[in-house]
Copies of this chain bind each other. A is one copy, B any other.
Amino acid sequence: MRVEELETPVPVVDLDVMERNLKRMQDYCDAHGIALRPHIKTHKLPRLAQRQVELGAKGITCQKLGEAEVMADAGLDDIFISYPLIGEAKAHRLAALAKRVRMRVAVDNPLALATAAQAARESGAEIGVVVEFDSGNKRTGVETVGEALALAKEIAATPGLRFDGLMTYPTSARTKTFLEEARPAFREAGLEIPMLSGGGSPGAWTVHEVAPIDEMRVGTYIYNDRAMVGAGAATLDDCAMTVWATVISRPAEGRAILDCGSKTLSSDMVAPEVGPGYGLMPDYPDAVITRVNEEHGTVDVSRCAKKPELGERVRIIPNHTCVVTNLHDEVVFARDGEVVGSWPIPARGMTR
């Protein structure tokens, strides 16, 4: 079956483009002596995580325990949860994971550290812990070397925990200066920093010029999306995921309605300088998806010389491919426009 014959709306991933993306990132990391630890949030598919490891990835990254559990069930055995886990329930689940696979977690506060410590006690397994610092993103991560050092000391002093180094997201100039400040301070306290983990697909290709990271956590590079193209980190030809949709209404000359809305594309936008709308229609570069409701995409086609017709199948490059994956129970894989198969996405919806 050809992809354009699929019932819509449907996300379709081109396997050749995906494979090229995978290899390119592995090659980049190999060339620069960086360990690749891909983030599975983009595909949420064990078989693709396995493919990443096969190509040379040193373990994988997950954001939530639920994702890690799915991956461990599928045989992935070296998992980093780059996220502060807090509370009894999380400790139990982390312990269960640590009993069967090599686990590492990130902390930026004492409660997350205590959760990891409890998991180590319960499991009897050693758990790696990295300290997250903020490189300017203003999300999680300690802001000072002093805070990082205090946590690192406590990790090193806690039975069952192993201080694995520092992490940040995304990698920036501040990553380098933070490390430069941290090295002597840690050394003075008798601690080495075994590793620096950086992340972020948009800046991946120039990371060797930015900061001396030892490990790269990237997710989006496997499929790419409009935001990645906007960041200059990919071209449209590198976008492996396309959403196919149908024009289900043409109620006015300048308006087309697609059968995909926020339940398919999400309501994520891209940075204003990248462009307007909720996705890019490569065959209609002058069309703008101006609004998404749950099941409707409203497209302003007034500036299109040739306009999409009622009933026509159209392609959309999503703004943000990871969230499209999360919205779907399965994804279609294709090669040269021919459908290879439709695979369930076992790690979708794992918010806990």
Residues of A in contact with B (beta carbons under 8 Å apart): 7-10, 41, 63-64, 83-87, 89-90, 108-112, 134, 138-143, 246, 248-252, 255, 257, 259-260, 262-264, 266-269, 291, 293-296, 298, 310-311, 322-323, 326-329, 349, 351-352
Asked whether, in the complex, the Cβ of B352 is within 8 Å of the Cβ of A111, the reply is no
Cβ of A352 and Cβ of B8 under 8 Å apart? yes
Question: Which residue in B85, B108, B259, B328 is a CB contact (below 8 Å) of A251?
Answer: B108
A251: chain B residues at CB < 8 Å are: 108-109, 134, 139-143
Which of A259, A329, A351 has the most chain B CB atoms closer than 10 A to its own CB? A351
In the complex, which residues of chain B have a beta carbon less than 8 angstroms from the beta carbon of A87? 7, 246, 311
15 contacts between A and B (CB under 8 A): A9-B351, A10-B352, A64-B295, A86-B246, A109-B250, A111-B310, A111-B311, A138-B255, A139-B251, A139-B257, A140-B257, A140-B296, A143-B251, A263-B349, A263-B351
Q: Do B252 and A143 touch (CB < 8 A)?
A: yes
Docked CA distance A307–B63 (Å) = 26
**A1–B296 CA distance with the chains assembled, in angstroms:** 39
Residue in B closest to A291 when the chains form the complex, CB atoms: B139
Contacts of A141 in B (CB 8 A): 249, 251
Most chain B CB within 10 A, of A9, A85, A264, A294, is at: A294
User: Are A267 and B268 touching (Cβ within 8 A)?
Assistant: yes
A14 to B174, CA, bound (A): 46
A89, A110, A112, A251 — most chain B CB neighbours (10 Å): A251
Query: How many chain copies does the complex carry?
Result: 2
Bound Cα distance A89, B4 (Å): 13
Q: Which B residues touch A291, using CB under 8 A? A: 139
| Contact A138-B295, Cβ < 8 Å, known A7-B90, A111-B310 | no
A9, B295: Cβ atoms closer than 8 Å: no
Question: Which residues in B have their C-beta under 8 angstroms from that of A85?
Answer: 248
Q: How many Å lie between the Cα of A83 and that of B323 in the bound state?
A: 24
Complexed CA–CA distance, A327 and B109 (Å): 29
Other A-B contacts than A112-B249, A138-B255, A263-B349, 18 sampled, CB-CB below 8 A, are: A86-B311, A108-B249, A110-B310, A112-B248, A134-B251, A138-B252, A139-B293, A140-B257, A140-B296, A141-B251, A142-B251, A143-B252, A260-B351, A266-B267, A267-B323, A294-B326, A328-B351, A329-B349
Establish whether residues A83 and B255, one from each chain, have CB atoms under 8 Å apart when the complex forms. no
Q: Which one of B89, B109, B246 contacts A249 once the chains associate, using CB atoms below 8 Å?
A: B109
Return chain B residues, CB-CB under 8 Å to A112: 248-249
Residues from chain B with a CB closer than 8 A to the CB of A8 are: 352
Are the C-beta atoms of A7 and B264 separated by less than 8 Å?
Answer: no
A243 → chain B closest CB, angstroms: 10
Contacts of A264 in B (CB 8 A): 351
- CB neighbours of A257 from chain B (8 A): 84, 139-140
- Chain B positions within 8 Å of A252 at CB level: 138, 143
Measured between beta carbons, the chain B residues less than 8 angstroms from A249 are 84, 108-109, 112, 140-141
On chain B, the residues within 8 Å of A295 by CB distance are 63-64, 83, 351
